[in-house]
Amino acid sequence: MSRLAVELRKPLFWLILLCFLGGVFLHYSEYFLTPQTNVSIVLGLQRHSIERLLFLGIIILAGVLYGFAGGMAYLTASALTMIPRLFISQLQADDVYETIAILMAGFGFNWWFESHRREVGRREQSLLKLDSIRRELESHIETIRENEKRLSVLHSITTAINEFGSLGEILNIATEKILEVVAADGVLVYLINRTTRTLELKQYRGVSETFAAGVDRLEIGEGFNGRVVQEKKPAYIEDSSSDPRLSRGIVKQEGIGSQFIVPLMAREEVIGTLCILSRSKKKFTVEEEQLLILISSELGVAVERAALSEEKDRVGRRYRELFARSHDAIWMQDMDGKILAANQAAADLTGEAALGTNVARFLAPQALELAREVRRKLLSGVEVEQPYEQRLIRKDGTEVIIMLTTSIVMDENGKPIFQHISRDVTRERRLSDNLHLYARQITHAHEEERKRIARELHDDSVQALSILSRRVDDLISEQSKRSKMIRPLEDIRGEIDNVLARIRLYAQDLRPPTLEYLGLIPALRELISQVGQQSGIKVEFRVGGEERHFTPEDELLIYRIIQEALRNVWRHASAQHATVTIRFDTRNAIVDIVDDGKGFIIGEDLRFVQAGKIGLAGMQERADLLGGMLTVRSKPGQGTTINLVVPGDRWKARL
């Protein structure tokens, strides 16, 4: 309706309509004018041809101006005007042909013109689409160029991270590239000092030295950058000068407007910030923000990597310093045994420069076999008891004993190499062997002295007391039954018999004959029976496994350890029950003495002599002479457990 109103206000619409009405008037002129007047004749045309041509012109003009619908409207109106004329006037074939020709010509023109207009419209639409596609392609090309530029920045930063080890060089290139791709005036990079827990300015561009000095250190939570660290998320500041979070007036003096700050992250922890500055109010685009976030991720990795690299260099320098100055011999060898690195202590140990030499040169066959076994276990992931004893042959042919610790490390190519750390214990071992020999000799001397005292007690004291006891018996028999001397003499005989019993017991303790003639197990049974009878403590004895035999000296040492343990139970533990267990397996002989007594406190260093526990110290000394291990476990109120492990190599020779 609105379009019709617009057309009604146009003069051309009324002109066409007026022409059409004029044509209608002319077509039926004889009904409006005098019969003698005929317009067609006047104009030189017959049978109303002029009006039909006028209708055709109007149809064409309407089609041109108003399209196919307008042309068809006037075509319909013209047909309704011309067709009645054929029936009113005398019908002639030419009139019919003219009318049909006019209508067909009008319809044909409108059809052609509409088709042409539609084709033109389609072409225009195609051109519009092509233009839209062109603009879209240009937009995409521009976006691609921007992305290419951003990717170039990321690539430059990544390349700098890979090529430069220095953190300063990486940050310098990163800040330069950021200003190339982001429309900003300055860049600040802060890193957290892990010692002081403060933000320190490490790199800046586009700001004055005075400004940099004024914001070179910030507390976490202070200012915009400190808050970003605290909140662990990016922040946009539209106007820094008027923002209430502003903590330093130098920001306003520098004329800083907008800021976009991104936290630098490494392993999910904030290690610093990346701050982009603009001296005017700037709204950063989404693409710029995303790019800065990506750059911050790369910088976070770079900072962490640089820190690790610096730490690695520091540790490497420290290791090389320790390696060179260490008093312990250190060397590294490859899988073939070639020594790749060795310190001066290693050269002193072997008597020559070991670098480049095969380690087999310094090992006897048995020691070389041990080295191969250790290497095999380490490569297989089997635990090796370390340090272990190894023997080396020096250049001069002398043998040294070392305590060796071996581990696998990887070289720069990821191949395994063996690192050895050794300490020369030749002198200590010889001293220890001498001490063991001395202790064994002292123990042997003690046992010989005990044997001598036991023999003298048996041969002298026991014999003399036995004779004295018989003389007292003779005196008693010589007295009359009413003699007052009988009772005192009987008391004396009783005392003599008690002394004899104690002397025999002491002699047996000094040198148990059962141990000498029957062996360890029968002697222990006898000992345990005696302790039970004398102390009133219920003592159980258990033997497990196939019984083994030790040398007489070793059996005596084991006997003395168990004897001392039971003596402590009797004298100090206030126990009601005790158990002695000896078990034999294929590798060790294991002895356990357990009581339910009051227990005691054991020091962590097990210094029995300093603690006044002489009996336990003697047990430990005898265990060392056996090459075994003695363990004492006790707590007040929880009894005591003594465990003795004697290695099987003490009895294997007698199997």
- Tell the residue number behind the tokens 């399209």, with chain if given: 67
Count: domains in the chain: 5
Mean residue pLDDT across the chain: 78
End-to-end CA distance of the chain: 126
Q: Which two tokens stand for residue 501?
A: 């019993």
The mean pLDDT of 594-601, rounded to a whole number, is 87
Looking at residue 41, what is its pLDDT?
46
Q: Say how far apart CA 564 and CA 571 lie, in whole Å.
A: 10
Same domain, 616 and 654: yes
Structural contact between residues 496 and 472, judged by C-beta atoms closer than 8 angstroms: yes
Same domain, 268 and 336: no
- Tell the residue number behind the tokens 């002989």, with chain if given: 589
Looking at residue 43, what is its pLDDT?
46
For 224-251, give one letter per residue: b (16+ CB within 10 A) or e.
bbbbbbeeeebbebeebeeeeebbeeeb
**Is it the case that residue 598 has pLDDT exceeding 70?**
yes
Per-residue pLDDT reduced to its tens digit, 625-642: 888 888 888 888 888 999
Same domain, 121 and 259: no
CATH number at residue 263: 3.30.450.40
503 domain residue, yes or no:
yes
Looking at residue 565, what is its pLDDT?
87
- Between 52 and 90, the more confident residue is 52
Looking at residue 44, what is its pLDDT?
46
Last-in-domain residue among 366, 395, 420:
420
Whole-prediction pTM value?
A: 0.42
**Is it the case that residue 406 has pLDDT exceeding 80?**
yes
Q: Hey, which residues does 358 pair with through a beta bridge?
A: 338
Where residue 500 falls among pLDDT bands split at 50, 70, 90?
A: low
Q: Say how far apart CA 594 and CA 586 lie, in whole Å.
A: 23
Same domain, 118 and 229: no
Last-in-domain residue among 380, 401, 420:
420
Q: Say how far apart CA 124 and CA 340 lie, in whole Å.
A: 82
Name the DSSP class of 573. I
| Residue 168, domain extent | 164-313
**Is it the case that residue 501 has pLDDT exceeding 80?**
no
324 domain residue, yes or no:
no
Same domain, 525 and 623: yes
90 domain residue, yes or no:
yes
**Is it the case that residue 45 has pLDDT exceeding 70?**
no
The mean pLDDT of 374-396, rounded to a whole number, is 83
Q: Which two tokens stand for residue 366?
A: 């048995």
Percent of the chain exceeding pLDDT 70 equals 77
Where residue 582 falls among pLDDT bands split at 50, 70, 90?
A: very high
The mean pLDDT of 388-396, rounded to a whole number, is 83
Q: What angle do CA 41, 47, 50 make, to 5 degrees?
A: 70
**Is it the case that residue 52 has pLDDT exceeding 80?**
no
Name the DSSP class of 338. B
Looking at residue 653, what is its pLDDT?
46
Same domain, 169 and 291: yes
CA 105 to chain centre: 90
Last-in-domain residue among 480, 511, 542:
511
**Is it the case that residue 482 has pLDDT exceeding 70?**
no
Where residue 89 falls among pLDDT bands split at 50, 70, 90?
A: low
Same domain, 610 and 504: no
Same domain, 385 and 430: no
- Between 73 and 255, the more confident residue is 255
148 domain residue, yes or no:
no
Per-residue pLDDT reduced to its tens digit, 296-346: 888 888 788 877 777 777 777 777 776 667 777 787 888 888 888 888 777
Q: Which two tokens stand for residue 427?
A: 């002198």
Same domain, 539 and 576: yes
137 domain residue, yes or no:
no
Same domain, 11 and 124: yes
The mean pLDDT of 515-532, rounded to a whole number, is 83
Per-residue pLDDT reduced to its tens digit, 417-470: 888 888 877 777 777 666 666 656 666 666 666 666 656 555 566 666 667 667
Where residue 260 falls among pLDDT bands split at 50, 70, 90?
A: very high
Where residue 167 falls among pLDDT bands split at 50, 70, 90?
A: confident
- Tell the residue number behind the tokens 């007489």, with chain if given: 552
Radius of gyration of the chain (CA): 60
Q: Say how far apart CA 276 and CA 477 lie, in whole Å.
A: 126
- Between 589 and 168, the more confident residue is 589
Same domain, 490 and 474: yes
Same domain, 368 and 270: no
